[in-house]
Amino acid sequence: MRQHLVEEHLNHNQQTRELEESYAGHRGRIMQLIEATVADLSGASAGRCSSLVLLGAGNCLDVDLQQLTKLFRKIHLVDLDKGSLAAAADRNNLPPESVELHAPVDIAEPLMSLRPDDFEMTPDRRDHCTKVLQALSAEHAATEIPEADVVVSLCLLSQLIGTLEHLILSSEPVSGHAIKAVRVGHLRRMLNMLRPGGVAILISDIVSSETAPELLEASDSQLPELLSRLISERNFFSATNPSLMINELNILTRLPGGAESVETIDPWLWQLGNRRYAVYGLRFQKVLPQ
């Protein structure tokens, strides 16, 4: 992996490490989703599942790790930043047998190892670029992470696209193809990490008050209408349009091991430092074999 690309993610974790209070409402919404999913899978309101994978876990401020140990027998924390994962496990006094750290892991492999010239579409580089796009969209997941009952992506997709933007200008013709490859690859890899019948939850920030200052004054009840307008104005983070995500998940429903059902989660507001984000979720279940 190229260190300067990894450093971007390490710096993000360092900058947000002391903002635990800012995560409270956001964390509450994510925990409600996970708890409801466990209840659905176990068939009991106080049920427990076997295993959970958290992608982009970082400082683990998006979730309540201690509560998760009551819901899952094993938690797999996945990130580029091993130090942040270890610190979070120590801070929460997690029993060693209840948690496993997977780091550094490039969940969008080979993204963190790429260079700008990997995306050149000149005649002598076109075949190579095509192979790179195919690799980014492939379904293979990190081999050391076992299949789980629940897989959660914690606002990771926008960070992956941020890395891509260090490699390729949005004005380049291949940019749209590269963004789609990372997005589709992320969805396919989440599904690939699930056991049959397991559930994936994708949490994504879609826009911030940096480009949409209206978010600073908006309420949760106003958010759906505001987001519809911002999306129509193309004011959102690349690759995070929920309509495109749903369309691609619907395509995956036609493939073996694809999604059986897709549910859209109502958006919410998240104040992080001096920025306010609009966040939404998608929940999808992996099809059971016939």
Q: Report helix angle 3-16 to 157-165, nearest 10.
A: 140
> What is the pTM (predicted TM-score) of this model?
0.95
Q: Encode pLDDT of 123-140 as tens digits.
A: 999 999 999 999 999 998
Taking 90 as the threshold, does the pLDDT of residue 287 lie above it? Answer: no
Taking 90 as the threshold, does the pLDDT of residue 170 lie above it? Answer: no
Residue 49 placed within a domain = yes
200 — phi, psi (to 5°)?
Answer: -105, 140
Residue 35 placed within a domain = yes
Give the number of other Cβ atoms within 10 Å of residue 39's Cβ: 15
Q: Encode pLDDT of 195-251 as tens digits.
A: 999 999 999 999 999 999 999 999 999 999 999 999 999 999 978 999 999 999 988
Residue 20 placed within a domain = yes
Instruction: Specify the 3-state DSSP secondary structure of 227.
Output: helix
What CA–CA distance (Å, rounded) separates 159 from 102? 18
Taking 90 as the threshold, does the pLDDT of residue 37 lie above it? Answer: yes
Kind plus residue range of the DSSP H or E element containing 161: helix 157-165
The residue range of the domain holding 123 is: 3-285
The residue ranges of DSSP E strands in 71-215, in sequence order, are 72-78, 99-102, 148-154, 194-208
- What average pLDDT score do residues 104-108 get? 96
| Average predicted confidence (pLDDT) for the chain | 94
Residue 290 placed within a domain = no
Residue 206 placed within a domain = yes
- Beta-ladder partners of 49: 72
How high is the pLDDT of residue 290? 66
Taking 70 as the threshold, does the pLDDT of residue 149 lie above it? Answer: yes
Q: From the centroid of its chain, how far is CA 61?
A: 14
- Beta-ladder partners of 85: none
Of 227, 184, 220, whose CA–CA distance to 206 is shortest?
227
What CA–CA distance (Å, rounded) separates 119 from 128? 8
The residue ranges of DSSP E strands in the chain, in sequence order, are 49-55, 72-78, 99-102, 148-154, 194-208, 259-272, 275-286
| Number of structural domains the chain divides into | 1
Half-sphere exposure of 207 (CA within 13 A, CB side): 23
Q: Domain holding 246: CATH number?
A: 3.40.50.150
